[in-house]
Amino acid sequence: MNFLLIGGSGYLGGRLAVWLRQQRHRVLVSGRSNNTTAGTTVNSVVPWPIRKEQLASFGYIDAVVHLASPDQRAAGADPTAFLKTSVELAWQVCELAASLRPVPVMLYLSSAHVYGTWEGTITEQTHPQPLHPYGLGKRLAEEVTLLFRRRNDVPTLCIRLSNVFGAPAKAEITQWNLLFNDLCRQAVTTDTLTLNSAGTQRRNFVTLTDAARAIDFLAARPSDWPADGIIHVGGGMDLSILEAAELVKSRAKVVLEKVVSIKQAASVNGTTSPPFQFSIDRLSALAFKWNNDADREIDETLRLCARHWGSLSPCAGS
């Protein structure tokens, strides 16, 4: 297949580009920067916004994957700019997809943050109630995507992603504040993993490998997409914050040959969180199989952190 990745050099986009190339797909990346993912050989790179004539040498597009988005911190710092960017980008990407012939499938990478409250069992039919500008921006972009599905007959799918984790294709990303990324960097730079959220708080996690595999899997099966155009991509791992820290602690001992401790911030010690389950039944019903190789993702993240913020012992990188 021929893939066009909008925002294909970010955290998920970089790893998705790597995966697609490994599967012998052709990959065209577009973003506001011309920098491709370090270590990734893509077929072509074009700046955003794209002019249709720029696609001529690449050929037809089978699938457009829209990943471009500022992160949560940017959304919180300037909500108005984030909402404007989210809606405008979604409209522009949908317009591009609608103008291509043949019309490609389009997958929009949304987020579980559209639900706002993380408690109880959340399915694709749970009513979204965003509590943060990031979730609201994602929800508005979903509505744009679904509008083009209804009005322009563009085959679109909104993928509500849970918490992805794993080593980025390059260290120059902004998402080092994500839980596993932050814990791995702490393991390299300090002797203590400090938890700023309640250790009992549970989240659904999916490895970057499985997220990329799921996007590839779904892009090839538009006839199997849900009628409402929404699907969850999560993982088979429901972990508390403390359990995630314990995983990083155990892998740091193996990879870095280093013993680290875990400390919860005093303000969250003893707090509890409501039960939470992020349903992945729709994806499972399509016979998608997860690898759930958490150790490998954590190990590679630790090694990347060690190369940039610390040092590896001679045997640790083997």
The whole-number average pLDDT for the span 207-212 is 98
Residue 5's pLDDT is 97
The pLDDT confidence band at residue 269, using thresholds 50, 70 and 90, is low
Residues of the chain with pLDDT > 90: what percent? 77
Please give the Cα distance from 165 to 142 (Å, whole number).
Answer: 23
Task: Look over the chain and give the mean of its residue pLDDT values, rounded to a whole number.
Answer: 91
CA distance 165 to 298: 8
Q: How confident is the model at residue 275 (pLDDT cuts 50, 70, 90)?
A: confident
What average pLDDT does range 121-126 have in this prediction? Answer: 96
pLDDT of residue 315: 37
pLDDT class for 160, splitting at 50, 70, 90? very high
- On the 0-12 / 13-18 / 19+ scale of CB atoms within 10 A, 52 is exposed
* Single-letter code of the amino acid located at 37: T
Min mean pLDDT across 49-58, 221-230, 293-302 is at 49-58
Say which amino acid occupies 59: G
* Percent helix, percent strand, percent coil in the chain, to nearest 5: 40, 20, 40
What average pLDDT does this structure show over 11-15? 94
Statement: residue 188 has pLDDT above 90:
yes
Distance CA 147, CA 200 (A): 39
Retrieve residue 274's tokens. 């409501």
- Record the pTM: 0.93
Give pLDDT, residue 105.
98
Placement of tokens 């065209």 in the chain: 28
- 286/281 Cα distance (integer angstroms): 9
pLDDT at 189 over 80: yes
CATH (residue range 2-165+206-233): 3.40.50.720
- 317 pLDDT higher than 70: no
Residue 34: pLDDT over 70: no
* Geometric angle at alpha carbon 38, from 33 and 40, rounded to 5°: 105
Is residue 35's pLDDT more than 70? no
**Phi, psi at 172, each rounded to 5°:** -80, 65
| Domain definitions of the chain by residue range | 2-165+206-233
